Amino acid sequence: MDEDKLLEKLILSGAVSIAGIDSETGEFLYQFTPILKDVHPQLYHEYMNHVNEEIMGLWERGFLNIDFMEDNPRVTLTQKAFDQNELSSLSKEDKWAIEEIKRSIASK
């Protein structure tokens, strides 16, 4: 299945939603919803692996704290995650990840 058809299927099933618009390109930004796990388990696992790698990378660079002693490790932001100088050194993807973590923490 080509990417456009897969994206359409995921949107129609509720596994993907529009998260916003990229201010630089004007393109839609998408996010996965919890439904993805049931609709496309393989993509869900690939996505979760990517998220875990991203979180570990941000932790290694000092943007996140993670309590590895917990059964379900809790992720918190460090002061570095709010420092515009530090954030400017990150890739677009890393900045997006930090913003998503901030959004996720704020919604709890």
CA distance 89 to 105: 23
Look at the chain and count its residues: 108
Q: What is the pLDDT along the chain (108 residues), one digit of tens a residue?
A: 688 899 999 999 999 998 888 888 999 888 899 999 999 999 999 999 998 899 999 999 999 999 888 888 888 999 999 999 999 999 988 998 898 888 888 876
Alpha-carbon dihedral angle through residues 84, 90, 96, 97, given to the nearest 10 degrees = -110
CB contact at 8 A, 21 and 28: yes
Model's pTM, two decimal places? Answer: 0.74
The angle formed by the CA atoms of residues 72, 73 and 76, to the nearest 5 degrees, is 135
